[in-house]
Amino acid sequence: MNASAPILQLQDIRKNFGGLTAIENFSLEVFPGEIVALVGDNGAGKSTLVKIISGVHPPSSGTITIEGKPVTMSNATMGRAHGIEVVYQDLALADQQTVYMNMFLGREPLNRLGLLDRRRMIDETEKLVKELDVRIPSAHATIRDLSGGQRQGVAIARATHWASKLILLDEPTAALGVAETAKVEAIAQSLKQRNVGILIISHSLDQVFKLSDRICVLRRGKQIGVRETKKTDKNEIIAMITGLQQQ
């Protein structure tokens, strides 16, 4: 565990939608090179939290601090500007475009003539997929022609390329088979070396225990607790998720 300052700090986050409270009193710190898992039942508020951290929804109250500086965000573009990248559950890939165009979607580099710098996009894509060991036929491959695991790999590679602070993985293996899940988990592990914070949302406790350093449990919008993965077990986490802890 890295003892340096947290890369992301959430303090007393609260989010109301009209009269409904979706999130209350949520506080969490993520350190560079750390994987924190966010678990909870359906409707516990995980996706609301993803939207707050990625900048889509500003919190009703509370503060978000990135590397010690408080930030306010009101859309995903601002989140990205602060170095936060999200790998969405649906991956947000344009299926009929190439891998390299997706890698740079919305942030395409231009050459001196103001035209797309394909050479650079292709080179950087190839370099990155090699580093992350995402096995795709080529940077020119069309997303549509890739397998589910390969697509997930491309989406993670894209987030990795752009994230300077934090990567949010939203259910990264929900739709994948066994072999592909293992591959994606290996990629997620390797991200730790990049010294960014990683927040993973997952339904699979096996995966959570395999990957994470700490586990944060949410139930009905409330933060139940944060545990170090090494010092807890599945029974405790299940109890926290279901609310049967106190018996």
Partner 1 sequence: MTSANTGTEVGSFASRFNLQQYVVYLGFLAIFLFFAFMLKDSGFLTVRNLSNIVLQTAPVTIMAIGLVFVMSAGEIDLSIGSIVAVSALAAAVTIASYGMAAGIVAGLGAGILIGLINGALVAYVKLPSFLVTLATMGLFAGVSRSMTDLRSISVTNETFTGFFGSGSLLGVPSLIWWTVIAIAVGHLVYRETRFGAHVLATGDNARAASVSGISVPKIRLAVLTISGGLAGLAGLLYAGRLQAAKYTLGETDLMTVIAAVIVGGTLLNGGKGSIVGALVGSLMMGMLNNGLILMGLSVSDQMIVRGLIILTAVAVSLRDKSR
Q: Which of 25, 27, 63, 116 binds partner 1 (CB under 8 A)?
A: 116
CB 114 within 8 A of CB 132: no
Can you read off the two tokens belonging to residue 216? 């944060």
- Put the strands of the sheet holding 69-71 in their side by side order: 69-71, 61-66, 8-17, 20-30, 222-228, 214-219, 35-39, 197-201, 166-170, 84-87
What letter would DSSP give residue 83? T
Q: Does 2 bind partner 1 (CB under 8 A)?
A: no
Q: Does 106 bind partner 1 (CB under 8 A)?
A: yes
Span from 22-30, 105-113, 171-179, 191-199 in contact with partner 1 (CB under 8 A)? 105-113
Q: Which of 60, 63, 88, 232 binds partner 1 (CB under 8 A)?
A: 88
Tell me the number of residues near partner 1 by CB under 8 A: 30
Q: Does 224 bind partner 1 (CB under 8 A)?
A: no
Beta bridge partners of 29: 9
Q: Which of 48, 98, 160, 207 binds partner 1 (CB under 8 A)?
A: 98
Q: Where are the beta strands (DSSP E) in 95-221?
A: 166-170, 197-201, 214-219
Beta bridge partners of 168: 86, 199
Span from 5-13, 30-38, 100-108, 191-199 in contact with partner 1 (CB under 8 A)? 100-108
Binding site for partner 1 (CB under 8 A): 76-77, 80, 86, 88, 90-98, 101, 105-108, 110, 114-116, 118-119, 122, 138-140, 142
